């Protein structure tokens, strides 16, 4: 959908007659024809725009339809789609409030964190490559010594000549109000150059993978007076070799020997801050979960801290000597059926089915 001004593309007044429009078209078509600018993507794009503008304005009836519909005009005559309407109204709001989205100047950065860093919060120094305004030409791209010239089409306003509500940036100077006659020697006319900046991001305790931290104004700068973009830091929490995260809670598999689970013991277990001692009651079954309250992760909203859950795993001994195997077998034979009530219930069910 055309949100540009066809009159502005051809560099003519909206009241220009057919002959003025034809002359402007022929002059620009010669200037930007791909045969005269081999390999230039900019020339090819401009030539396409010039052709589009000419097709709309050459015929009086088509020109009248364009004048009537403005940004809702389509050469094929179909009504605008919902997404095209959205694009037009976004453009209108930008014109009314003199602001444009700076999202295209935002930078993305992925920051890897350990679970320990999430638990305590941390300040991280990042080295971020970003585009900054050239200090020699202050972003204009022109040599400071008379390197720019007032745009002849818009008279330096930077605006096309359409109705104020639909008014767009001047096509010929890209809204800057001037054209570059001699490029800046420092940035070669780009108006920007790349620089690596060190920035510090404060990571609050309790963040999770996928959360974004915004550093306002630390993105790319614009060539003109626009506000710099933001640096959006996306958090990625690395997998931990011991702990499994469940929201603010963390889970740790706790292996116990048969003797420890049967007789009970005291075990020293790892935590995010160090270690803690936990009492294992006698007869602790595999799969049972023990909880250390407040030893999980903090909440970003400063609510109660999560817990550390210890998931009991019964570790069966391996690589026993013959004497050890004999002793274990004798011990097992010495136990009455009541020592293993779940096994006794299963054996009874098997007998009843025989």
Residue range 86-100: mean pLDDT, rounded: 50
Q: Domain 107-147+182-233: give its CATH architecture.
A: Sandwich (2.60)
Strand stretches in the chain, DSSP E: 107-113, 122-133, 148-150, 178-180, 192-203, 212-215, 231-237, 243-246, 249-256, 265-270, 275-280, 289-292, 308-314
The answer to whether residue 308 scores a pLDDT higher than 90 is: yes
Read off the pLDDT of each residue in 215-232 and give the average, rounded to a whole number: 89
Tell me the CB-side half-sphere exposure of residue 99, using CA atoms within 13 A: 7
**If one looks up domain 6-99 in CATH, what number appears?**
1.10.287.110
What one-character-per-residue DSSP string does 145-190 give?
TT-EEE-TTTTTS-B-SS-GGG--B-TTTTTSSEEESSB-TTTTT-
Stretch 206-224: mean pLDDT, rounded?
Answer: 92
For residue 123, pLDDT over 60 is answered with: yes
Query: Average per-residue pLDDT in the chain?
Result: 88
In the predicted structure, residue 97 carries a pLDDT above the cut 60: no
Give residue-wise pLDDT tens across range 150-192. 998 888 888 887 666 567 788 888 888 899 989 999 999 889 9
Which pLDDT value is given to residue 99?
44
Region 98-110 average pLDDT: 73
List pLDDT tens digits, range 51-70: 999 998 999 988 888 888 77
> Is the per-residue pLDDT at 73 higher than 50?
yes
**Is residue 93's pLDDT more than 60?**
no
Give me the residue spans of the domains in the chain: 6-99, 107-147+182-233, 243-316, 327-354
Residues 6+ apart with CB under 8 A from 74: 1, 80
CATH 3.40.640.10 fits 243-316, yes or no: no
Domains 107-147+182-233 and 243-316 share a fold: yes
For 11, 85, 102, 161, the CA distances from 227, given in Å and listed in that order, are: 30, 27, 7, 26
- What would the pLDDT profile of 263-301 be if each residue is shown by its tens digit? 999 999 999 999 999 999 999 999 999 999 999 999 987
């Amino acid at each position: 959908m055309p949100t540009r001004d066809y009159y502005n593309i051809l560099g003519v007044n909206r009241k220009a007659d057919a002959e003025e429009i034809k002359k402007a078209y022929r002059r620009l078509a010669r200037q930007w024809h791909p045969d005269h600018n081999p390999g230039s993507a900019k020339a090819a794009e401009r030539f396409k725009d010039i052709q589009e503008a000419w097709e709309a304005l050459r015929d009086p009836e088509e020109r009248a339809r364009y004048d009537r519909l403005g940004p809702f005009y389509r050469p094929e005559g179909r009504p605008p789609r919902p997404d095209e309407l959205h694009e037009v109204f976004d453009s209108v709001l930008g014109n009314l409030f003199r602001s444009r989205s700076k999202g295209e100047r935002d930078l993305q950065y992925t920051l890897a964190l350990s679970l320990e860093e999430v638990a305590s919060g941390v300040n991280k120094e990042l080295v971020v490559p970003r585009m900054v305004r050239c200090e020699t030409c202050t972003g204009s791209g022109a040599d400071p010594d008379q390197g720019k010239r007032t745009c002849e089409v818009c008279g330096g306003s930077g605006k096309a000549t359409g109705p104020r509500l639909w008014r767009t940036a001047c096509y010929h100077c890209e809204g800057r109000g001037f054209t570059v006659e001699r490029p800046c020697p420092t940035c070669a006319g780009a108006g920007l150059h790349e620089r690596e900046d060190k920035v510090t991001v404060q990571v609050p305790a309790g963040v999770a993978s996928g959360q974004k931290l915004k550093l306002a104004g630390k993105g790319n700068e614009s060539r003109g007076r626009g506000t710099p973009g933001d640096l959006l830091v996306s958090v990625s929490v690395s997998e931990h070799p011991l702990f499994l995260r469940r929201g603010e809670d963390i889970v740790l598999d706790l292996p116990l020997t048969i003797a420890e689970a049967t007789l009970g013991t005291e075990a020293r277990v790892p935590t995010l801050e160090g270690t803690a001692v936990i009492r294992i009651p006698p007869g602790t079954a595999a799969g049972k979960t023990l909880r250390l309250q407040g030893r999980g992760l903090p909440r970003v909203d400063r609510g109660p801290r999560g817990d550390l859950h210890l998931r009991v795993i019964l570790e069966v001994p391996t690589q026993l000597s013959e004497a050890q195997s004999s002793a274990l077998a004798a011990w097992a034979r010495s136990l009455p059926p009541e020592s293993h009530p779940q096994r006794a219930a299963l054996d009874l069910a098997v007998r009843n089915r025989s």
